[in-house]
Structure 1
């Protein structure tokens, strides 16, 4: 029996399937309409769409050619020559070469092929308001696809057909191809959505709607493209860039530095977690509410893979003496990474599986590693008038976004493994905290509108947004 909505209700598991009330459906209908601009509106998103690619080129050039220093014109007279040098680097060292098209395009095609043919776990997603609360089924085969990819890459490398060291050496060329993919798919998906009449939550401004997206659930046969692109493209590239950096060090130095080994472990943990917990992704905001536009597409195809692991780019280009640590510091770095990973993995699992329980799903896939505490037993929650339930136990008893805190700590570690050799690898954590704070604001505003007084009650129970006792 459910308790008063103002208090968390104790239960061994949510006892029945959640049903959205009529009033809740009306709220969902209003939330599925465009009501205000975000990111500074059309001019703001245009600045992001043009500024981020330029920033990515600039940071890569600084890492690759200028010892990781943030170079700038020495005077007003030097502005034009400086820009000319930047452009020359892009034209010569980051042009979309045939090799880059083969490698990047080949990976995309291979990942699509694996998504089509590899057996997977069939997971039901959350009811989608814009589809009259229909639930979509997702074929979760990322884990088997990942290890098929790893085995294939190892065979190609060991036989000399495709040397993994070449990936990091062609970073700039691959980045340009990734950008072309991101921009092309963003505009192509927008025009498809309009032609097929599948647009949702539109503002009426072309640039803004391309950025935010027009379609919610794009599919290619059985493949949900939004979920596929979130896991199979960015994190696979991030991981293999790290492996490539390790291979390059081994060939040149005869060993792999602890710093590079740290990044290989860190990127594998993240990729493997996304793959082994893929069935949790359909329960997330990304799948349930976020449209598939430039904001998501470009970042998956170019932003994440070519800006999150700048530390690997630096290490592949510079002598280890520039970033060596003491043994205690290495121990601290690895321990911090693993602790943050544990909290992040458990928090994500607890929330997603609680949502599954609320749908009446009680059988969960198990894949390595299943961490202690990844499923909350006897969860407490607030039953809302809308019909949804808000989890108030496990990691979620201490913070409204414990997963974000742990995720950010990992991102900071990805930069800190370089120490103070260059500030550029910290871009990931600085950018990430900006995105998370903005996203939390969007999320909490939407939750307040959706749940009303029940959200206020939830905030009384779970007082802190991020760090318990601090904020």
Structure 2
């Protein structure tokens, strides 16, 4: 490497301040969302087809295990019994989880209520990266998720305590609600694919129908001012997950007269997660999912169905198995680990995304609760790449490239620990999420190596660890 090349990849110092009237800078590099180096991911068409079929079946199976069998595995008695057993499972699922009018009213009623709030609630207008697919245009995002979230929470509590809609109806109708969510995600993914193809605006398409349906062909779907991808990323999955846990807590109160510390833990855990996602909506605009990923079946299915109805197993397990008898130190440890993980996760995401926003001149100061210390790094160190972007090597990102993932996994671990070790299903989220994050880091590293070249090598030399310093 020449001296000129070497100096261009040395860490530089940025000075940071918060703008009161941000407008995006014109000299920020285009984000490469065209990616001409096409490669099949997720096992190609065969892998895509397997997941399109397999994930709904997995969710149905796990629902029966947790909701109908107290968190214990359901297994055929022998290999010869598999087909009759599968038939009995399908019959039982249809009996307790077939889509019905209650499921439609609850799930789609909430969805369209959130859509309406997205159009009318106040909030700042933020701008994303310049996109080559739109000839350098920056999309505007109306960031009012925080108002929508709090209005939804307050409205639900008013409806519950006035008896108009008891939140316990969510857990009582969870199977039908989940089935409606899965059907709705397939419908939206199919409609989006057909409309995008009809307009001739497909992005990064492989030409294989199944694979393109799975990976998506639409980059920035919008309904007026509503960005569909940002909406489905934040305003449905995590609030629905929170309301499932809240429903379980209210149901437990009805059944035994109080809410256990373990059930209260899950309400707190899911409130923290949902609140953080919605209070930091403006930070998500510069994330991988929004500026690079296509709105696809796998994003829609997991955001609208997979996340809320697969990450809730601990809450259901705690309800179905009665009051736990864990020691006070054990429960206290879980609360402490949750809050520690939340602190590093919230501040880590904030450091990373607000660093990007600062250099895009879209950083604003908001008073959303809670605002944690160390959420923004002044005079942050970074690597200036030849591509034009800057790679953060300060704050928590001086120690690992994905510290927010590590904190996320710690929180996921506590969601299992609070239920003990009597069932695997409270740990499903942890195991599934670990696989997802390791795979995503691999995709991210490969893409960044192509994009930044020698600058990425320098970045990995300075920050060699992915998740945990000196370990991995």
Partner of 1:384: 385
Residue 353 of structure 2 corresponds to 352
Q: Quote the offset at 1:113 in angstroms.
A: 0.3
TM-score, with structure 2 as normaliser: 0.95
Task: Give the count of matched residue pairs.
Answer: 462
What is the Cα deviation at residue 361 of structure 1? Answer: 3.1
Q: Which runs of 4+ in 1 moved over 4 A?
A: 14-18
1:381 partner SS: strand
- Paired with 2:121 and 2:67, the residues of 1 have a C-alpha distance of 38
Which residue number corresponds to residue 35 of structure 1? 38
The structure 2 residue matched to 1:280, chosen from 267, 279, 283, is 283
Matches within 5 A, 1:321-400: 323-400=324-401
Shift of residue 309, structure 1, vs aligned partner? 1.3
- Could you tell me whether the CA contact under 8 Å between 1:18 and 1:387 is conserved in 2? no
What do the CA deviations read for 1:357-380 (whole angstroms, capped 9, x no partner)?
A: 111234333311110000001100
Name the stretch that deviates more: 245-254 or 355-364.
Answer: 355-364
**Deviations for 1:346-394, whole angstroms, at most 9, x for unmatched residues?**
1111111111111123433331111000000110000000000000101
Deviation at 1:20, TM superposition (A): 5.6
Q: What is the alpha-carbon distance in structure 1 between the residues aligned to residue 384 and residue 65 of structure 2?
A: 52
Provide structure 2 residue ranges, at least 5 long, that are not aligned to the other structure: 1-5, 19-23
State the match for 1:435 in structure 2: 436
Q: Distance in 1 between matches of 2:230 and 2:201?
A: 18
The root-mean-square deviation of aligned C-alpha atoms, in Å, is 1.7
Q: CA deviation at 1:123?
A: 1.1
Structure 2 partner of 1:187 = 190
- 2:421 aligns with 420
73-82 vs 203-212, which deviates more? 73-82
Q: 2:295 aligns with which of 282, 292, 306?
A: 292
How many angstroms does 1:132 deviate by? 2.1
Determine if contact 1:73/1:79 at 8 Å carries over to the other structure: yes
What does residue 308 of structure 2 align with?
Answer: 305
Gaps in structure 1 of 5+ consecutive residues: none
1:129 CA displacement:
2.5
Cα distance in 1 for residues equivalent to 2:208 and 2:12:
45
Question: What CA deviation, in whole Å up to 9, does each residue of 1:95-128 have, x standing for no partner?
Answer: 0011000000100110000001111111111222
Give SS of 1:126's match. strand
* d(CA) in 2 for partners of 1:238, 1:229: 13
Give 1:407's aligned residue: 408
Whether contact under 8 Å (2:17, 2:378) holds in the other structure is: no
Query: Residues of 2 paired with 1:266 and 1:126: CA distance?
Result: 32
Query: What TM-score does the superposition give when structure 1 sets the normalisation length?
Result: 0.95
Offset of 1:17 from its aligned partner?
4.7
Q: Which aligned pairs between 1:47-86 and structure 2 lie closer than 5 A?
A: 47-86=50-89
Q: In structure 2, how many angstroms separate the alpha carbons of the residues matched to 1:287 and 1:419?
A: 36
Kindly tell me: are residues 308 and 158 of structure 1, through their superposed partners in 2, closer, same or farther at Cα, counting changes over 3 Å?
Answer: same
Return the offset for 1:315: 1.7
Per-residue CA shift, 1:78-106, capped at 9, x if unaligned? 22331122011111101001100000010
Q: 1:239 aligns with which of 237, 242, 253?
A: 242
Return the offset for 1:69: 1.2
- Mean alpha-carbon deviation: is it higher for 45-54 or for 32-41? 32-41
Contact 1:42 1:207 in 2 (8 A): yes
Partner SS state of residue 8, structure 2: coil
Match of 2:270 among 267, 271, 290: 267
Label 1:14 to 1:369 Cα distance change in 2 as closer, same or farther (>3 A). closer
SS in 2 for 1:4: helix
